[in-house]
Structure 1
Amino acid sequence: MIRENNKVKDIQIAYIGGGSRNWAWTFMKDLALEAELSGTIRLYDIDKKAAKANEIIGNKISQKENAVGKWEYKALASIEETLTGADFVIISVLPGDFKEMASDVHTPEKYGIYQSVGDTVGPGGIIRAMRTIPMFFEIAENIKKYSPDAWVINYTNPMTICVKALYAAFPEIKAYGCCHEVFGTQTILKKALEEMRGLKDVERHEIRTNALGINHFTWIDRATYKDIDLLPIYKEFVDKHYEEGYQVDEEHWLNSVFKSSEKVKFDLFRRHGLIAAAGDRHLAEFVPSNWYLKDPETVAKWQYKLTPVSFRIENREALKEKSRKYVDGMLEIELENSGEEGIAQIKALVGLNELVTNVNLPNKGQMAGVPFDAVVETNALFQAGTVRPIIAGGLPREIESITLRHVEVQEGIIEAALAKDMDKAFKAFSADVQVSTLNPDDARALFDEMVENTKHYLSYWNI
């Protein structure tokens, strides 16, 4: 990297999963709109054609007249060439294919277990973790070998387990996990402030929150806008919209598998007095399934949707076509800021600013009541060359007990992977809050069937 007149040039970013047809484009556009950074993006993906397409798309973005950040994109064939000399490593990979994801999400339905996402907790999240952990062990070992001083930013789910796996394989790694779920909750707080107090032109980033928990089960116990305490205002907002729900934007939950009317979030606030800082689809999977996920009728009552893998397959085909049109020049690439904070984090780490935001890191005392080194999600201060977790405090006992159950399962699956022990993996699987509703024989049958369905990606486990 070269520092010159409040700009940092020649930054080397290695992008593992560089054939991504969603997040990679978002990242490219955000980089193009940042004038103070420039350099090279090295794209590495097992799908070499997708990475090559993104090389073309990335360079087209960089050449646009309104692209103030200039980057060169290169699709590379080897992980060694991709990582050597990298200042930053981005990880955004799909652990398995949609065939495996279909098993993660839909096989448990035969046993009465419904999952709204199936990528973090629950039987789907755990089996996905079994595929993902060996990949992240290997990624960490390669980072240790080729770019041990790089900052590593993970976007892959299951987020907590991915970050834990990186540190398990390379304890000195400088890695953290990024998730935008808290941003969505800050947006709801902004809407509440505008509606209940009539304030105008409030920006999401002006909403200050104290976040604590684990990824996709993160909570806010303090929130302010300037000198205004937002929790009483949020309570008024929840009471007003509890019955009918609330649409954050124009897209109604009935028309989107990713939207909700925030009723799960509102109900959890009434139960516990803290703001649940993730989307309803994720939150529902962390609590007992008879709360919000008993059956499709219960899901509809709480005004969100199960996300079928068939939708993801259709969406992938649409994105493939979009990629082809971008490459061929049949579709114009529009530059717009995503509102994500990955670029702001990079700017802080290279010394151009300071930033406080929520990230996933091993617990070094920033969160009370959770085991040391378990990965937690709290705020951290980003400065030149450092990410310092901010003391967040602890959760109320009733939320802490649910959180700790998931922590134990997540720690258990990592321990099982380190030992390559399928019996330990099953013990972690059967302790999950959703799986534990089954009798032992059914839990074992479900585990065995899901493992069989994904065994192509489980060679690491010696099965």
Structure 2
Amino acid sequence: MPTITFLGAGSMVFARNLLGDVLSFPELSDSDVRLVDIDEDRLARTARVAEAMVENEGLDATITATTDRREALDGADYVLNVINVGGREPFENEIRIPERYGVEQAIGDTIGPGGIFRALRTIPTMLDIARDMEELCPDALLLNYTNPMAILCRAMFEATDVETVGLCHSVPHTVEAIAAYLDVPQGELDYWVAGINHLAWFLELERDGEDLYPELREAMAEEDIYRRDTVRFEMLDHFGAFVTESSHHVSEYVPYFRTDPETVAAMAGEGYADRMPTASYLEGWTARSEERDDPSIESDLSEVGVERSEEYAARLVHSIETGTPRRFNLNVSNGTNAIENLPSDACVEVPCLVDGMGVRPCSVGELPTELAAFDRRHASVHELAVRAALENDREALHRAVKLDPLTAASCSLDEIHEMTEELIAANEAYLPELR
């Protein structure tokens, strides 16, 4: 009977999916599940849904809800982290202030001014969680879902003794998209993917041993398919590989697509390309936040059941608990040199084998030079952002933002300096005390 603690359980839809995943496995259906959030109302609603799942399915799981993180961490075997530090105010600052300087972010949660400042306001809480875990559940595995994934995980690798892996659904979502573009069953695709979070690359894409990249290039020549994923198809056309994050995400990570309105408009379309406008995620997140506060979200609790989503977390826990071997793309330290031409202290997203022995990253070798170049630059931004957070280093923060590809393509160095200072002042209450 594993003890599984959910941090940020007030995010009810995501928590509900992860809970359903865990409870869908008979071997995990008697788990001791502990739900934690600082928002008592949202926490209570998640708890009611969780309890209904257990009752309706006749399971033996125990559900506990608490605002006391230390109580919930005591003796935990697994800790799932889905927290959001700060809420709307800093998020809006991280999008709208750069927008005034010409840095047009659609998402702002991974890299760029938005991702870097989100990391700085999140890392102190992550370190607090780590200190509690080192004391109360030192052998627990932390499964992190919170963005910016690579920066947060790197901070945990460098500053704590907590075993940490990062989980992201970008790979399975991309597999689903490719299957649709090729009109083939998703389960028949074989792939080998590696890089960094949100900038990992399909190094191999096959079906029954046949390379599918020629077919994918043929598919992108069809206008209706191209319009569904414009940026990723442009990256495939120019750099030879399909990337793991959606078009509106990827447009922020490179300097080519968001520096003038005409290009943004040209890259807009349907599907993954319909969220290209600036602040599209902020606006959607705000709307979803209001929906989460709607009492009707609980629906009819008598109808709540256990369903399994595509998320990795429960499958990973099940593999460790039962010894069932599986392979996932996970975010781990590159200390084993899984990717030989990325820094050994970077956080990389690579295939990992998971079973009763734990998580073991696979050896990928070298990425193609042109793909590694994107990831190395981002890894340098990650390094500086982590240094800024761990050492309260204001200059490292400035340099992280100045190295960001989209920001550098949009502003002069003096403008970036001024923008960064404005962001520090606006979000000072959420940041470490920078020197």
What is the TM-score normalised by the length of structure 1? 0.87
Partner Cα separation in structure 2 for residue 224 and residue 157 of structure 1:
30
Q: Is the 8 A contact 1:155 1:177 kept in 2?
A: yes
* Residue of 401, 404, 419 corresponding to 1:429: 401
Give the 3 Å change call, closer, same or farther, for CA 330–344 of structure 1 in structure 2: closer
Q: Is the 8 A contact 1:26 1:338 kept in 2?
A: yes
Higher relative contact order (CA 8 A, sep 6+): 2
Q: Is the 8 A contact 1:238 1:266 kept in 2?
A: yes
Partner Cα separation in structure 2 for residue 126 and residue 184 of structure 1:
24
Partner Cα separation in structure 2 for residue 450 and residue 347 of structure 1:
42
Q: Is the 8 A contact 1:36 1:69 kept in 2?
A: no
Residues 237-276 of structure 1 show CA distances to partners (whole Å, capped at 9, x for unaligned) of 223x2x3335xxxxxxxxxxxxx71111111111111111
Aligned to 2:7: 16
Aligned to 1:444: 417
Give the 3 Å change call, closer, same or farther, for CA 219–52 of structure 1 in structure 2: same
Aligned to 2:180: 191
Instruction: Give the Å deviation of 1:415.
Output: 1.4
Q: Is the 8 A contact 1:326 1:333 kept in 2?
A: no
Partner Cα separation in structure 2 for residue 387 and residue 147 of structure 1:
18
Q: Is the 8 A contact 1:104 1:127 kept in 2?
A: yes
Instruction: Give the Å deviation of 1:370.
Output: 0.7
Instruction: Give the Å deviation of 1:211.
Output: 1.0
**Structure with higher helix content:** 2
Q: Is the 8 A contact 1:429 1:447 kept in 2?
A: yes
Ranges in structure 1 where 5+ consecutive residues have no aligned partner: 1-9, 247-259
Give the 3 Å change call, closer, same or farther, for CA 244–44 of structure 1 in structure 2: same
Aligned to 1:47: 39
Partner Cα separation in structure 2 for residue 330 and residue 144 of structure 1:
37
Is the partner of 1:245 in helix, strand or coil?
helix
Aligned to 1:367: 339
Partner Cα separation in structure 1 for residue 359 and residue 379 of structure 2:
23
Do structure 1's residue 164 and structure 2's residue 131 form an aligned pair? no
Do structure 1's residue 121 and structure 2's residue 111 form an aligned pair? yes
Aligned to 1:350: 321
Do structure 1's residue 292 and structure 2's residue 257 form an aligned pair? yes
Q: Is the 8 A contact 1:92 1:154 kept in 2?
A: yes
Q: Is the 8 A contact 2:165 2:332 kept in 1?
A: yes
* Count of residue correspondences: 424
Aligned to 2:203: 221
Q: Identity over aligned residues, as a percent?
A: 29
Do structure 1's residue 406 and structure 2's residue 386 form an aligned pair? no
Give the 3 Å change call, closer, same or farther, for CA 423–462 of structure 1 in structure 2: closer
Partner Cα separation in structure 1 for residue 302 and residue 102 of structure 2:
44
Do structure 1's residue 263 and structure 2's residue 230 form an aligned pair? yes
* Residue of 77, 83, 103 corresponding to 2:93: 103
Q: Is the 8 A contact 1:55 1:73 kept in 2?
A: yes
Cα RMSD for the two superposed structures: 2.0
Instruction: Give the Å deviation of 1:327.
Output: 5.0
* Residue of 166, 178, 181 corresponding to 2:167: 178
Give the 3 Å change call, closer, same or farther, for CA 80–436 of structure 1 in structure 2: same
Partner Cα separation in structure 1 for residue 259 and residue 230 of structure 2:
16
Instruction: Give the Å deviation of 1:112.
Output: 1.0
Is the partner of 2:397 in helix, strand or coil?
helix
Give the 3 Å change call, closer, same or farther, for CA 77–315 of structure 1 in structure 2: closer
Residues 126-168 of structure 1 show CA distances to partners (whole Å, capped at 9, x for unaligned) of 1111111111111111111111101110000000011112122
Partner Cα separation in structure 2 for residue 261 and residue 220 of structure 1:
18
The one-letter code of the counterpart of 1:265 is: R
Instruction: Give the Å deviation of 1:41.
Output: 1.2
Deviates more, 1:218-227 or 1:325-334: 325-334
* Residue of 51, 57, 82 corresponding to 2:49: 57
* Residue of 230, 250, 270 corresponding to 1:283: 250
Aligned to 1:420: 392
